[in-house]
Structure 1
Amino acid sequence: MASIKDEVDLLRRIPLFANVEPHRLKLLAFTSERVRFEAGQELFHQGDPGDAAYVIISGSAEVVVDTQDGELAVATLDKNAFVGEIAILCDVPRTATVRAVGQLETLKIMKDHFLRMVAEFPEMAVEIMRVLAQRLSRTTAELTEARNRLGGAAG
């Protein structure tokens, strides 16, 4: 069984939480839950309401989206990845399905606890904006690259 110190050390490795004071991470760790998933088991499904975010402790998970042609794998998440925060931050349905590739261990952070931390600790909100902006920038670059490849293939 992991100690609160182990959970704090785990959270500190996540960019989103790297600059949050240890006593604040203890509070988040105390209110979080370790959850294990077997291969193929879903953390959450596209379209579901967002009730929690997850930190991957060990193992990996795949991110898939439903398309007209079936499921499309769009990413693989590994140790220290943080997933599920968009649905809880934006109060929107899950934008993708996340499924364990093999055995997966996560730290589940419930929506209410996460939002309370963000409200009480503005430096965490700033870090969230920074991380999400980096993701948006990376996604925009990938979409531009894909568009350029498709444009080149069509010509």
Structure 2
Amino acid sequence: MSLEIPDGLGDLLRDFTVAVLRDRPNDLYDFAVDYFSKVKETRKPKSIPMYVIVDEDDEGAGEPDKEQFKPKTRKYNRYARRQSVSAERYDPEADDDDEDKVIYPKTDEQRERLTEAVCGILLFRCLEPEQMQDVIDAMFEKAVKPGEYVIHQGDDGDNFYVIDHGLYDVLVNVNDQEKKIHRFDNRGSFGELALMYNMPRSASIVAVSDGVLWAMDRNSFRRIILRSAFKKRKMYEELLENVTMLKSLEPYERMNLADALVTRNFSDGETIIAQGDEADGMYFVESGMIRVTINHPEGGEEEVGRHGAGKYFGELALIENKPRSANVYAIGKVKVAFLERDSFERLLGPCLDIMKRNSEIYKNYTESS
């Protein structure tokens, strides 16, 4: 099936991004809750256009012809309000065609620099190792000079960009004047929204210094990133549907939870969590078996259970804000879905009562041991 982008989603995302860039909140999650609560209450259109940019707000894709990357000199209204974009729909369930894969040869030094540049980008965190290799293969190097426009506001998206090094200003047209609203300083990425939502560029990106970017064309971006995100969400939604504790969640809450999960792999005998450690999140077993043990004060460990796919663990320390109360080890190869602490607190509120009741099992066992 084809992905249908809801009407108004692009505008909503752009408005929120401008608000974040303007107010620069210390806590993005609290700010988002307050912002969208106000939007829901007023339901009024904004008095100024919404712009999107920054690490996750501008997009691009296109054929990797080097001619496309020459500075543009033609005259046109780059800052016109959004126009309709006639772009092909992408079907994330369609089979990948190996012939569509793009590979740019790279030296060992280039691959090392690119790997370092992409390792901290949130957009790539759901990718498996082989998919990350596809990302590295599909990206090509682009040098820029001071004053060169990488992206023009109002243009169709052509490429997604990752910064290797250099300074880049984000400019939006306000009352026919370009205003700087952000600066990338030797790190970050931009250009994905236009590719994901088939919308024109919502801001301009101009190089302030000599720099180097890594670019990925539209087709590669969709084939690797969008398809991976779709498959990840579908897989996690199916996993979460079988977790009894989560039956109290609404479908959209489970969807948000699925988007927040990150896959982690463990080998036989490897420690997943250790008793006494600080809790950083909770886990859902995707595949394989885990072994749970408790340390005795006089020494040694006692096994208290084994669990397979669909089970969860690690929530007790988060609920009670205490160190881990048990050890968990992998039996054979184990794949788990990890939910970090902040996401746990934000997304699993409706399930806390059930979790607290289940936590009594651990307490009762400990007291009777």
The TM-score range, normalised by the shorter chain, is: 0.7 to 0.9
Shift of 1:136: 2.7
Q: Which residue of 2 aligns with 1:152?
A: none
Provide structure 2 residue ranges, at least 5 long, that are not aligned to the other structure.
Answer: 1-227
Kept in 2: contact 1:8–1:22 (CA 8 A): no
Shift of 1:20: 1.1
Q: Does 1:130 align with 2:347?
A: no
Match of 1:32 among 254, 257, 261: 261
Q: Does 1:7 align with 2:231?
A: no
Kept in 2: contact 1:61–1:99 (CA 8 A): yes
Output the amino acid matched with 1:70.
G
CA distance in 2, matches of 1:86, 1:134: 9
Shift of 1:95: 0.1
Matches within 5 A, 1:139-150: 140=364
Kept in 2: contact 1:55–1:83 (CA 8 A): yes
% identical aligned pairs:
23
When residues 7 and 60 of structure 1 are mapped into structure 2, their CA distance, relative to the original with a 3 A threshold, is same
Output the TM-score relative to the length of structure 2. 0.35
Q: Does 1:78 align with 2:302?
A: no
Kept in 2: contact 1:12–1:19 (CA 8 A): no
Kept in 1: contact 2:263–2:337 (CA 8 A): yes
Q: Does 1:44 align with 2:273?
A: yes
Provide structure 1 residue ranges, at least 5 long, that are not aligned to the other structure.
Answer: 148-155
Q: Does 1:61 align with 2:290?
A: yes
When residues 135 and 111 of structure 1 are mapped into structure 2, their CA distance, relative to the original with a 3 A threshold, is closer
Output the amino acid matched with 2:354.
R
* Higher alpha-carbon deviation: 79-88 or 9-18: 9-18
CA distance in 2, matches of 1:89, 1:138: 13
* Higher alpha-carbon deviation: 105-114 or 67-76: 67-76
RMSD: 2.3
Write the deviation string for residues 17-68 of structure 1: whole angstroms up to 9, x where unpaired: 1231121111111111011110011111000001110000111111111111
When residues 113 and 96 of structure 1 are mapped into structure 2, their CA distance, relative to the original with a 3 A threshold, is same
Q: How many residues align?
A: 139
Which structure has the bigger radius of gyration?
2
Q: Does 1:109 align with 2:339?
A: yes
Greater RCO (CA < 8 Å, at least 6 residues apart): 1
Q: Which residue of 1 aligns with 2:49?
A: none
Kept in 2: contact 1:15–1:131 (CA 8 A): no
Q: Which residue of 2 aligns with 1:118?
A: 348
* Higher alpha-carbon deviation: 93-102 or 19-28: 19-28
Runs of at least 4 residues of structure 1 off by over 3 A? 137-140
Kept in 1: contact 2:316–2:359 (CA 8 A): no
When residues 4 and 52 of structure 1 are mapped into structure 2, their CA distance, relative to the original with a 3 A threshold, is same
Q: Secondary structure at the match of 2:248?
A: coil
Kept in 1: contact 2:319–2:356 (CA 8 A): no
When residues 22 and 113 of structure 1 are mapped into structure 2, their CA distance, relative to the original with a 3 A threshold, is same
Output the TM-score relative to the length of structure 1. 0.79
Output the amino acid matched with 1:46.
Q
**Greater helix content:** 1
Match of 1:19 among 248, 252, 264: 248
Kept in 1: contact 2:316–2:355 (CA 8 A): no
* Higher alpha-carbon deviation: 6-15 or 43-52: 6-15
Shift of 1:106: 0.6
CA distance in 2, matches of 1:138, 1:106: 21
Kept in 2: contact 1:61–1:78 (CA 8 A): yes
Output the amino acid matched with 1:81.
K
Write the deviation string for residues 72-115 of structure 1: whole angstroms up to 9, x where unpaired: 11111111111000011111000011010111011001111010
